[in-house]
């Protein structure tokens, strides 16, 4: 933008009404020459009217550049009267103007009498130029120095403008000239136009220049850093090209080509889905472009190994022979008829409908009842691979979905790792201890498992590391839990719950003879020729040394006996050991558990009840003693809240019973009643002790 002397000597020579040219993204100052491009029909008619009269127009900025035909409220109140110096019509109907600002004016009223905007204007007189004070001179000098700094930082300003800046001493005109060469926002440029006092205007422009200096300085620093980075990258590229040429001479370049060919061959053999093939090709292209020994290349190779190593279409053939499956299940597990029947139902449906969707089974039961081994038996009966994933203590969602490849050492989640380990896409996949899964700040693994276990979603499972869809619908998922309460309802809704209760004494005896004894003997280098374990000895071991629903404790006790027998056999003291119910104590010591027996004769204040434990039913005695006192009820034996309430209810019943049978009421006010449940170290609770406590109270 240039500046020259005002073509009008007096602002009073301005017409009262001027055609209006609204400006969308510019503000014109007095004495400044700028080119304009006009395309609005109304603006072109306004220019024609101006050229026919006095070549004067009003240039005023719009408040909103999106408005095509602005009204008075859409325009700023202060604009610039300008003179049209030159006009050129373009072939597309647009026109180009060269205009020079004349004076600041105020827009009083806008009208459209002839299909183009006209405005009644009032000239804004500026303060007359007078010799500046020292402060004004200092301000002018500071503004010129700031302009020089801006030019020195790379701002493009024409030499003519620089000459004008150097020669101007009037603060107002200097401010207008500098502002027209700064990239100011429309509101800021309009503020400069509306500031009448020249000194104040120059102060404002100086502040804008300081901001421009800061921006240009930062831009220069960024450009310098970028140039340095580009130079470094060019140097690395040049060195890599040299290294590649050296490798080609040494024959090392062929290794990368062979590696790429191997990945493509694996992709064809594994019959990757289209999405996985596209990702494979993209990673191969990146590997080919980069340096084969770079850290990024190692990450890409690891990813390609996982992508081509997964069993995308590899499946084991299901054995749908129901008799064979029944035989396998009976060999491995005693009883459990309901679960065995359910698996035979699944195989029968699969035999009739090959693409039948598999159930998601959840085995719930106490520890040691065979939940995990049952999953292995199912896999063996179906002829599938078996994968087990323990979820106890898992708190990171990435354990299920994997880590994103941006992390160092990222790997797929344990679901895909299990499938990679199995080598087939349809194994029996056991999610063990699903009730012990946790959550913390790293996410909730159970939410990720919902996608894995949902038949509507798992056909399109996306691991964070793999980044492409993998079909899990062919996997037979089996879960285990000790308790149902900690499992989320959303999980239970997707699973078929099958309960495994604890074993009775006879069931434990049968399992011990059929499975545990042969296994324990073999594990300790013994055979039937070294150790004979009678049924009575096994019963004694089960009842006297274990108290559990499952069989792990029994297996440990049997292993302990076998180790001691091994010492005897290995030392030559005996070739064969026979165990009976009495000789078992020689190897295991005194029994750890004793069973309560019924009282030989009835006793006052003692009643017999039944208690439930994980190992089965137990006898429980309720003892009541009346002592002189004030009618208080004392409860001991680690009773829970429900049993305490049962005792209160039993006492109320006893009082009512005594009144109806003419027993003296003073008994309950002159005596304290002490209710005790033996085995005080064991907590007890339950809703069914009321009748037993009432019987003991009545007896007392």
pLDDT value, residue 57? 92
Least confidently predicted of 92-96, 153-157, 190-194: 153-157
Helical residues (DSSP H) of 271-336, grouped into ranges: 274-289, 295-309, 322-332
pLDDT at 76 over 90: yes
Task: Indicate if 556 and 452 belong to the same structural domain.
Answer: no
Angle between helices 134-152 and 159-167 (to 10 degrees): 160
When pLDDT is averaged across residues 17-37 and rounded to a whole number, the result is 91
CA distance 122 to 9: 17
Of 483, 499, 515, the position where a domain reaches its end is 499
Task: Indicate if 453 and 553 belong to the same structural domain.
Answer: no
- Answer with the residue of higher pLDDT: 684 or 337: 337
DSSP letters spanning 480-514: EES-STTS-HHHHHHSEEEE-PPPPHHHHHHHIII
CA distance 637 to 677: 5
Q: Which helix (H) or strand (E) holds 541?
A: helix 535-545
Helical residues (DSSP H) of 153-252, grouped into ranges: 159-167, 171-180, 186-194, 198-250
49 falls in which pLDDT band (50, 70, 90)? Answer: confident
pLDDT value, residue 30? 92
CATH code at position 621? 3.30.230.10
pLDDT at 615 over 70: no
pLDDT at 270 over 90: no
Place of tokens 């009346």: 626
pLDDT value, residue 120? 92
In a domain, 157, yes or no: no
Task: Indicate if 423 and 478 belong to the same structural domain.
Answer: yes
pLDDT value, residue 217? 86
CA distance 691 to 700: 14
Q: Give the range of the structural domain holding residue 96, as residue numbers without chain letter.
A: 2-123
pLDDT value, residue 121? 92
When pLDDT is averaged across residues 504-531 and rounded to a whole number, the result is 85
CA distance 6 to 33: 10
pLDDT at 348 over 60: yes
Q: Which helix (H) or strand (E) holds 477?
A: strand 476-481
Least confidently predicted of 51-55, 411-415, 498-502: 498-502
CATH code at position 539? 1.10.8.60
Average pLDDT, the chain: 83
When pLDDT is averaged across residues 52-61 and rounded to a whole number, the result is 90
Q: Which helix (H) or strand (E) holds 12?
A: none
Place of tokens 């069989």: 551
pLDDT value, residue 612? 64
Residues of the chain above pLDDT 70, percent: 91
Q: Which two tokens stand for residue 94?
A: 């647009």
CA distance 428 to 376: 8
Number of structural domains the chain divides into: 5
Task: Indicate if 442 and 480 belong to the same structural domain.
Answer: yes
Q: Residue 662 has what DSSP assignment?
A: T
pLDDT at 401 over 90: no
Q: What is the pLDDT of residues 92-141, one digit of tens each?
A: 888 999 999 999 999 999 988 878 899 999 999 876 655 567 888 888 88
Total Cβ atoms within 10 A of residue 494: 18
Highest mean pLDDT: which range of 88-92, 383-387, 607-611: 383-387
In a domain, 395, yes or no: yes
In a domain, 163, yes or no: no
Of 499, 523, 558, the position where a domain reaches its end is 499
Q: Indicate the length of the chain as a whole number.
A: 700
- Burial label for 155, CB within 10 Å (0-12, 13-18, 19+), is middle
Task: Indicate if 495 and 510 belong to the same structural domain.
Answer: no
pLDDT at 600 over 70: no
Least confidently predicted of 263-272, 406-415, 510-519, 616-625: 616-625
pLDDT at 11 over 50: no
Q: Please report, for residues 116, 313, 433, 444, 549, the alpha-carbon distance to residue 437 in angstroms, rounded to integers and kept in the order given.
A: 76, 31, 7, 9, 23
Highest mean pLDDT: which range of 120-124, 435-439, 530-534, 632-636: 120-124
Task: Indicate if 337 and 471 belong to the same structural domain.
Answer: yes
In a domain, 577, yes or no: yes
In a domain, 290, yes or no: yes
pLDDT value, residue 123? 92
Task: Indicate if 537 and 400 belong to the same structural domain.
Answer: no
In a domain, 220, yes or no: no
DSSP bridge pairs for 38: 95
Task: Indicate if 339 and 460 belong to the same structural domain.
Answer: yes
Place of tokens 């019959």: 271
CA distance 403 to 415: 12
pLDDT at 473 over 50: yes
In a domain, 262, yes or no: yes
Residue 186 dihedral angles phi and psi, to the nearest 5°: -55, -45
Of 268, 287, 309, the position where a domain reaches its end is 309
Task: Indicate if 631 and 650 belong to the same structural domain.
Answer: yes
Q: What is the pLDDT of residues 282-331, one digit of tens each?
A: 888 888 777 777 778 888 888 888 988 889 888 888 888 888 888 888 88
Least confidently predicted of 532-536, 601-605, 692-696: 601-605
pLDDT value, residue 81? 94
- Burial label for 635, CB within 10 Å (0-12, 13-18, 19+), is middle
Least confidently predicted of 293-302, 475-484, 640-649, 675-684: 675-684
pLDDT at 12 over 50: no
**CB-hemisphere CA count at 13 Å for 7?**
15
pLDDT at 407 over 90: no
Task: Indicate if 538 and 413 belong to the same structural domain.
Answer: no
pLDDT at 438 over 90: no
pLDDT value, residue 248? 63
In a domain, 211, yes or no: no
Task: Indicate if 479 and 375 belong to the same structural domain.
Answer: yes
When pLDDT is averaged across residues 402-409 and rounded to a whole number, the result is 84
pLDDT value, residue 595? 60
408 falls in which pLDDT band (50, 70, 90)? Answer: confident
End-to-end CA distance of the chain: 115
Give the closest residue to 338 by CA, choosing from 304, 366, 319, 365: 365
Task: Indicate if 327 and 448 belong to the same structural domain.
Answer: yes
614 falls in which pLDDT band (50, 70, 90)? Answer: low
Least confidently predicted of 295-309, 474-488, 583-597: 583-597
């Amino acid at each position: 933008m240039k500046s020259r002397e005002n073509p009008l000597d007096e602002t009073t020579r301005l017409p009262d009404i001027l055609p209006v040219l609204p400006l969308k993204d510019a503000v014109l100052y007095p004495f400044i020459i700028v080119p304009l491009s006009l395309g609005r029909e109304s603006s072109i008619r306004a220019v024609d009217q101006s050229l026919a009269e006095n070549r004067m127009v009003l240039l005023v900025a719009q408040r909103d550049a999106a408005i095509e035909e602005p009204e008075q409220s859409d325009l700023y109140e202060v604009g610039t009267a300008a003179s049209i110096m030159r006009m050129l019509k373009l072939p597309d109907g647009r026109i180009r103007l060269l205009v020079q600002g004349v004076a600041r004016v105020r827009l009083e009223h806008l009208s459209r009498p002839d299909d183009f905007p006209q405005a009644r204007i009032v000239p804004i007189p500026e303060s007359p130029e007078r010799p500046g004070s020292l402060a004004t001179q200092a301000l002018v000098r500071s503004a010129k120095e700031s302009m020089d700094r801006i030019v020195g930082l790379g701002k493009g300003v024409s030499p003519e403008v620089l000459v004008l800046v150097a020669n101007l001493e009037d603060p107002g005109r200097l401010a207008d000239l500098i502002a027209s060469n700064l990239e100011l926002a429309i509101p800021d440029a309009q503020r400069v136009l509306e500031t009448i006092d020249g000194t104040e205007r120059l102060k404002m422009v100086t502040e804008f220049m300081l901001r421009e200096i800061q921006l240009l300085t930062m831009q220069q620093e960024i450009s310098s850093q970028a140039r340095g980075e580009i130079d470094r990258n060019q140097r690395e590229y040049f060195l890599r090209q040299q290294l590649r040429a050296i490798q080609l001479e040494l024959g090392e370049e062929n290794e990368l080509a062979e590696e790429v060919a191997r990945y493509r061959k694996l992709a064809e053999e594994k019959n990757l889905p289209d999405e996985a093939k596209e990702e494979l090709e993209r990673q191969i292209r990146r590997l080919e472009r980069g340096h084969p020994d770079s850290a990024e290349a190692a990450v890409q190779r690891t990813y390609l190994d996982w992508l081509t190593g997964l069993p995308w279409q590899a499946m084991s053939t299901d054995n749908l022979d129901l008799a064979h499956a029944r035989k396998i299940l009976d060999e491995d597990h005693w009883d459990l008829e309901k679960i065995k029947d359910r698996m035979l139902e699944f195989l029968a449906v699969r035999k009739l409908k090959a693409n039948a969707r598999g159930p998601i089974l959840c085995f719930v039961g106490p520890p040691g009842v065979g939940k995990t081994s049952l999953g292995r038996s199912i896999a063996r009966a179906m002829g599938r691979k078996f994968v087990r994933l323990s979820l106890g203590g898992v708190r990171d969602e990435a354990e299920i979905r994997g880590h994103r490849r941006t992390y160092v050492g990222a790997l797929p989640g344990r679901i895909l790792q299990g499938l990679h380990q199995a080598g087939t896409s349809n194994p029996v996949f056991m999610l063990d201890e699903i009730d012990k899964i946790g959550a913390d700040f790293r996410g909730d693994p159970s939410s990720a498992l919902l996608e894995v276990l949902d038949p509507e979603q798992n056909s399109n499972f996306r691991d964070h590391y793999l980044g492409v869809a993998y079909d899990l619908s062919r996997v037979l998922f089996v879960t285990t839990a000790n308790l149902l309460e900690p499992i989320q309802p959303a999980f239970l809704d997707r699973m078929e719950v099958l309960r495994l209760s604890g074993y009775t004494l006879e069931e434990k005896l049968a399992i011990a003879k059929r499975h545990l004894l042969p296994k324990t003997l073999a594990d300790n280098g013994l055979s039937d020729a070294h150790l004979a374990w009678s049924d009575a000895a096994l019963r004694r071991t089960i009842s006297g040394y274990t108290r559990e629903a499952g069989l792990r404790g029994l297996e440990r006790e049997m292993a302990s006996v076998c180790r001691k027998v091994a010492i005897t056999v290995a030392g030559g003291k005996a070739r064969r050991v026979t165990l009976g119910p009495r000789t078992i104590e020689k190897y295991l010591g005194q029994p750890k558990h004793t069973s309560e027996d019924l009282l030989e004769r009835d006793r006052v204040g003692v009643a017999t009840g039944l208690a439930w434990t994980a190992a089965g039913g137990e006898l429980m005695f309720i003892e009541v003693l009346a002592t002189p006192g004030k009618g208080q009820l004392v409860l001991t034996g680690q009773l829970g809240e429900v049993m305490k309430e049962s005792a209160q209810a039993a006492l109320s019943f006893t009082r009512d019973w005594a009144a109806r049978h003419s027993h003296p009421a003073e008994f309950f006010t002159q005596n304290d009643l002490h209710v005790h449940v033996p085995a005080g170290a064991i907590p007890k609770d339950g809703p069914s002790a009321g009748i037993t406590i009432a019987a003991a109270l009545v007896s007392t």
